[in-house]
Homo-oligomer: A and B are copies of this chain.
């Protein structure tokens, strides 16, 4: 079995090794630019590790792993247009560096390319793999639409939020785990357990992201701290605060959300103070802990020698207990 570091190295090398047609240059340069940008490569890592659980040769899942990573990067590319984001991994986004049309069309080429990679899996599992990938890919679009809907929607409940992040974030991780397992020769039943595992892992990962966006250490967390509060994002923390705050704090929080000309540091500190009084860091932590335990539980329920699960266990710790 491979260590997490070995899988990470294989992933990075394989992504850099992807080749594209030379022409038209304006179509494929942004694709290469996007894929070279780095990122945590969580999804391909998860696919390879899931494969390796069931098969000594983790590489059996490499095309699936790459297809998922290309698809993920396509969603980032198009999301950045929709959010009008200027930077990604510290570099100008594609629609800023080139233009919007280029970003739309290069993204389109990336979806197709992700299918091309996925289609390279063994013919015997191709039908199953596509069914999972199609469903997961459509789910990600649904999640993105809910996320945009929430921006203009007055009230969002915590269950609605969890459903949104299930679609936007968790299903692709779940698909990576399930498809990786299938590529490794897992039974369909075991692959479904890996999907369920991936959902729980993905939810925990996103809640941890929400926590870090407010409470992370600017030195270690990749993104700017406070972005969610600045843009009034209805995160788990915000929704929990709105749910549990006393009358005064709730009023104050709502007025902070509506206030347009407040200094961003002042706003961040004021919102964080309310978060602190409502203990949202702790209650989100409790939720994450539950998800962590649930993920471990599902993994334990898969009938395989315990030591085959070590790399996946390491991934859980990295993703849920991370500080970056």
Residue of chain B at shortest CB distance from A136? B112
B78:A141 contact, CB within 8 angstroms? no
When A113-B138, A115-B134 are in contact, do A81 and B104 touch as well, CB less than 8 Å? yes
Chain B residues, CB < 8 A from A137: 112, 115
Distance in angstroms between the alpha carbons of A109 and B135 in the assembled complex: 11
Distance in angstroms between the alpha carbons of A126 and B105 in the assembled complex: 26
Residue of chain B at shortest CB distance from A82? B101
Partner of A115, one of B105, B107, B130, B141: B130
A1-60 contacts to B (CB < 8 Å): 21, 23-24, 26-27
Does A148 sit within 8 A of B, measured CB to CB?
yes
Chain B residues, CB < 8 A from A116: 134, 138
Chain B residues, CB < 8 A from A145: 24, 26-27, 105
Does A287 sit within 8 A of B, measured CB to CB?
no
Chain B residues, CB < 8 A from A108: 78, 107-108, 111, 141
- Give 28 pairs: A residue, B residue, CB < 8 Å, sorted on A: A21-B142, A23-B142, A24-B145, A26-B148, A26-B149, A78-B105, A81-B104, A82-B101, A82-B104, A82-B105, A101-B148, A105-B145, A105-B148, A108-B108, A109-B138, A109-B141, A109-B142, A111-B111, A111-B112, A112-B137, A112-B138, A113-B138, A115-B115, A115-B130, A115-B137, A116-B134, A116-B138, A119-B127
